[in-house]
């Protein structure tokens, strides 16, 4: 209707109405721009000031954060990031992988649903910024946007804050796009299959068989579970479904939580303690997967594959393997594209009819 009016009496200085396109915005956590003290400090300050992540009294917390934590942590974390940094592209692996995922998801979705889909990616902390990405999608004509947080398990400090952040941008827009948010996918059969198959494939390449597989998830303060966050239960279900899909016994697949921060009790068992305990109990061959991370990052490449390996070997373990995340593998990007296609339902023609339309158009 608006377009018809414009043809008749659009004033000369009237802004051009946008072409209607669909946006898919992949959202991930965020990562520092460099491993130096100031880059690390900027990243940690934004991250650790998020009240979805740390919900202590803000006056007390900001005092502690700015006087103690941001003095020491940037150096320590910067050293850890340096060991896994993508020096070719001068960025962290999380950024490289998320960009690759978005590029390949774009290719799959345009193949399935046509050219009017724009796929972009953004971070909750740091760059590329979520607000810039939303404005950019609008500038490209996206009047409908699907936000897809790349966290299989829902938690307030990840999924909720990613969507909160996008909504804060919408609050500032005169003409808001229509928004959908993709749900978590912790028990989605496509996800369980993709992770299980990648584990199976990885283990098949070894000349040894693990006695135990640890499925390690990022931790949370236990208090968040007690206050109603479903993350713990979703991780437990993911771990069980992977075990069932692999056909392993309950004793051979363990659930654990890593990356503790601060003195509070976090979800247990702790991954570092479990690794050591297993080695001390006589387990010699250990595999670790991190199904809660859609992309490899500091917490998997350094904490699991470096620190975890060293701890296992120091406690008497002999064979250790870290199974990479789905990343931008065919399985990984197809999973994200499938989740997006499902959530775009009603906004796009189903894949088969879009393909048929293109074939008809080509046939002339």
Ligand X SMILES: C=CC1=C(C)c2cc3[nH]c(cc4nc(cc5[nH]c(cc1n2)c(C)c5CCC(=O)O)C(CCC(=O)O)=C4C)c(C)c3C=C
Please select the residue that binds Fe ion; options are 63, 233, 314, 356, rule is CB under 5 A.
Answer: 233
Residue 126 contacts ligand X per CB under 6 A: no
Residue 96 contacts ligand X per CB under 6 A: no
> 94 is in the binding site of which of Fe ion, ligand X, none (Cβ under 5 to 8 A by kind)?
ligand X
Residue 262 contacts Fe ion per CB under 5 A: no
Residue 287 contacts ligand X per CB under 6 A: no
> Using H for helix, E for strand and C for coil, what is the string for the chain?
CHHHHHHHHCCCCCCCCCCCEEEEEEEEEECCCCCCHHHHHHHHHHHHCCCCCCCCCHHHHHHHHHHHHHHHHHHHHHHHHHHHCECCCCECHHHHHHHHHHHHHHHHHHHHHCCCEEEEEEEEECCCEHHHHHHHHHHCCEEEEEEEECCCCCCHHHHHHHHHHHHHHHCCCCCCCEEEECCCCCCCHHHHHHHHHHHHHHHHCCCCCCCEEEEEEECCEHHHHHCCCCHHHHHHHHHHHHHHHHCCCHHHEEEEEECCCCCCCECCCEHHHHHHHHHHCCCCEEEEECCCCCCCCHHHHHHHHHHHHHHHHHCCCCEEEEECCCCCCHHHHHHHHHHHHHHCECCECCHHHHHHHHHHHHHC
Q: Which of residues 146-175 bind ligand X (CB under 6 A)?
A: 151, 155, 157-158
Q: Which is nearer to Fe ion, 237 or 284 (CB)?
A: 237
Number of residues that bind ligand X (CB under 6 A): 24
Alpha-carbon distance 314 to 248, whole Å? Answer: 27
Residue nearest to Fe ion (CB): 233
218 is in an annotated binding site: yes
Residue 92 contacts ligand X per CB under 6 A: yes
Phi, psi for 30 (deg, rounded to 5): 120, 165
Please select the residue that binds ligand X; options are 270, 293, 320, 322, rule is CB under 6 A.
Answer: 293
Q: Provide the minimum distance between the beta carbon of 131 and ligand X in the complex, in angstroms, as a whole number.
A: 20
Please select the residue that binds Fe ion; options are 95, 232, 254, 260, rule is CB under 5 A.
Answer: 232
299 is in an annotated binding site: yes
Number of residues that bind Fe ion (CB under 5 A): 2
> 232 is in the binding site of which of ligand X, Fe ion, none (Cβ under 5 to 8 A by kind)?
Fe ion
Q: Which of residues 230-249 bind ligand X (CB under 6 A)?
A: 231
Residue 137 contacts ligand X per CB under 6 A: no
Segment contacting ligand X by CB under 6 A, of 15-23, 46-54, 55-63, 192-200: 46-54
Please select the residue that binds ligand X; options are 218, 232, 243, 254, rule is CB under 6 A.
Answer: 218
In the complex, the residues that contact ligand X under the rule CB under 6 A are 29, 31, 44, 47, 53-54, 73, 77, 92, 94, 151, 155, 157-158, 218, 220, 231, 259, 261, 292-293, 297-299
- Residues near Fe ion, by CB under 5 A: 232-233
List the binding residues for Fe(2+).
Answer: 218, 299
């Amino acid at each position: 209707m608006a377009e018809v009016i414009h043809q008749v009496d659009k004033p000369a200085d009237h802004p051009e109405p946008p072409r209607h396109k669909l946006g898919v915005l992949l959202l991930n956590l965020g990562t520092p721009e460099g491993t130096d003290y100031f880059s690390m400090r900027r990243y940690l300050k934004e991250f650790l000031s998020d009240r979805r992540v740390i919900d202590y009294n803000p006056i007390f917390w900001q005092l502690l954060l700015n006087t103690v934590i941001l003095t020491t942590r940037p150096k320590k974390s910067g050293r850890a990031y340096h060991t896994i940094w993508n020096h070719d592209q001068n960025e962290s692996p999380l950024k490289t992988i998320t960009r690759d995922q978005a590029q390949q998801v774009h290719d799959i979705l345009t193949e399935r649903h046509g050219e009017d889909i724009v796929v972009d990616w953004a971070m909750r902390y740091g760059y590329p910024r979520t607000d810039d990405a939303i404005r950019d999608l609008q500038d490209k004509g996206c009047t409908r946007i699907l936000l897809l947080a790349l966290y299989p398990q829902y938690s307030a400090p990840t999924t909720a804050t990613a969507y909160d952040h996008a909504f804060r941008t919408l609050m500032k827009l005169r003409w808001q796009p229509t928004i959908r948010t993709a749900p978590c996918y912790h028990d989605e059969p496509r996800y369980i299959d993709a992770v299980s198959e990648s584990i199976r494939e990885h283990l098949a390449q070894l000349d040894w068989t693990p006695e135990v597989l640890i499925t390690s998830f990022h931790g949370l303060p236990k208090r968040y579970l007690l206050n109603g966050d479903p993350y713990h239960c979703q991780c437990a279900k993911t771990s069980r479904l992977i075990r069932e899909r692999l056909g392993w016994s309950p004793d051979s697949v363990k659930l654990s939580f890593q990356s503790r921060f601060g003195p509070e009790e976090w979800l247990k068992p702790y991954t570092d303690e479990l690794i050591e305990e297993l080695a001390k109990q006589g387990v010699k061959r250990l595999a670790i997967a991190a199904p809660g991370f859609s992309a490899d990052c500091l917490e998997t490449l350094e904490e699991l594959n470096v620190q975890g390996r060293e701890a296992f070997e120091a406690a008497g373990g002999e064979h250790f393997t870290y199974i990479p995340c789905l990343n931008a593998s065919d399985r990984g990007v197809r999973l994200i594209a499938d989740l997006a296609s499902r959530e775009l339902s009603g906004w796009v023609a189903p894949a088969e009819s879009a393909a048929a339309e293109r074939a008809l158009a080509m046939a002339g």
